[in-house]
Amino acid sequence: MKQKLLLFIFFICSTYVYAQTGSIKGTITDTLNHQKLAKTVVALLRAKDSVLYTYTRSTTNGNFFINNIEEGKYILLVTYPTYADYVDTFSVNANSETDLGNIILTTKAHLLEDVTVVSKIAAVRMKGDTIVYKADSFKVKEGATVEDLLKKFPGIQVDKKGNITAQGTRVDKVLVDGEEFFGDDPTIATKNLNADMVNEVQVFDKKSDQTTFTGVDDGQTTRTINLKLKDNIKKGWFGKLEASAGGANDIWNNNLMANSFKNKRKLSVFGIASSTGKTGLNWDEMGKYGSNDMGMFSGSDDGGGMVMYFDGGDFDSPNYWGEGIPKSWSTGINYANKFNNDKQQLNGNYKYGKVLNEGFGTTRSQSILPDTLFFNNEKRNVWGNKDKHSISGTFDWMIDSSLSVKTSITGVKGKTIGSSLYYSESLNDAGNFVNTSNRKNASDANNQSLSANILFRKKFKKVGRTLSLNINNRLDENNSTSFLFSENDFYNKLGIVSFSDTTDQKKINNSKSHILTTKLAYTEQLAKNFLMELSYGLNINKSQNKKIS
Confidence of residue 301 (pLDDT cuts 50, 70, 90): very low
pLDDT higher for 429 or 115?
A: 429
pLDDT at 276: 75
369 confidence band (pLDDT: 50, 70, 90): confident
214 plus 295 within the same structural domain? no
How confident is the model at residue 183, as a pLDDT? 72
Domain assignment present for 350: yes
Given a cut of 60, whether residue 122 has pLDDT beyond it is no
* Same-domain pairing of 281 and 216: no
> How confident is the model at residue 2, as a pLDDT?
45
pLDDT at 436 over 80: yes
| Mean pLDDT calculated for residue range 197-222 | 82
Q: Residues 229, 283: one domain? A: no
Whether residue 299 sits in one domain with residue 373? yes
Domain endpoint, select from 233, 268, 286? 233
Mean pLDDT value across the chain: 81
Q: Do the domain assignments include residue 248?
A: no
Pairing of strands 306-308, 344-368: unpaired
Q: Which of 233, 255, 286 is the last residue of a domain?
A: 233
Q: What is the mean pLDDT of residues 293-306?
A: 34
**Residue 520 in contact with residue 534, Cβ under 8 Å?**
no
**Ramachandran angles phi, psi of 192, nearest 5°:** -120, -15
At 322, the pLDDT band (50, 70, 90 cuts) reads low
Contact between residue 445 and residue 480 where contact means Cβ atoms under 8 Å apart: yes
Asked if residues 520 and 536 have their Cβ atoms less than 8 Å apart, the reply is yes
Flag the least confident range among 119-133, 331-345, 464-478, 487-501: 119-133
Instruction: Give a yes or no: residue 15 inside a domain.
Output: no
Please say which residue of 209, 233, 257 terminates a domain: 233
* 435 lies in the same domain as 335: yes
Secondary structure element (H or E) that encloses residue 76, with its range: strand 72-79
218 with 358, same domain: the answer is no
- Let me know if residue 38 belongs to a domain: yes
Residue 533 lies inside a defined structural domain of this protein:
yes
Residue 277: what pLDDT?
61
Query: Of 295, 279, 297, 310, whose CA–CA distance to 380 is shortest?
Result: 310
**In a shared domain, residues 336 and 203:** no
**174 and 85 belong to one structural domain:** yes
Is 294 inside a domain boundary? yes
C-beta of residue 282 within 8 angstroms of C-beta of residue 289: no
Q: Count the residues in the chain.
A: 549
Provide, for the chain, the percentages of residues in helix, strand and coil under a 3-state DSSP scheme, each rounded to the nearest 5. 10, 60, 30
* pLDDT exceeds cutoff 60 at 373: yes
What's the burial of 384, exposed, middle or buried (CB within 10 Å: 0-12/13-18/19+)? buried
Question: For residues 179 and 216, which has the higher predicted lDDT (pLDDT)?
Answer: 179
| Higher-confidence position of 131 and 436 | 436
Q: Could you read off the pLDDT of 206-217 as tens digits, one per residue?
A: 888 777 777 767
Note whether 40 and 95 are same-domain residues: yes
The domain that holds 130 is classified in CATH as: 2.60.40.10
- Measure the CA–CA gap between 309 and 290, rounded to whole angstroms: 21
Specify if 473 maps to a domain: yes
Residue 188 binned pLDDT confidence (cut-offs 50, 70, 90): confident
Say if 483 falls within a structural domain.
yes
Whether residues 228 and 343 fall in one domain: no
* Residue 46 pLDDT: 82
DSSP 262-294: ETTEEEEEEEEEESSS---S-GGGHHHHS-S-S
- In terms of residue numbers, what domain contains 112? 21-233
Cα Dmax for the chain: 104
**How many domains is the chain built from?**
2
Per-residue pLDDT, 120: 43
Mean per-residue pLDDT for 34-63?
A: 85
* Residues contacting residue 475 through CB under 8 Å, at least 6 positions apart: 449, 450, 451, 512, 513, 514
Do 217 and 291 have their domain in common?
no
Same domain membership, residue 44 and residue 143:
yes
> Is the pLDDT assigned to residue 286 strictly greater than 90?
no
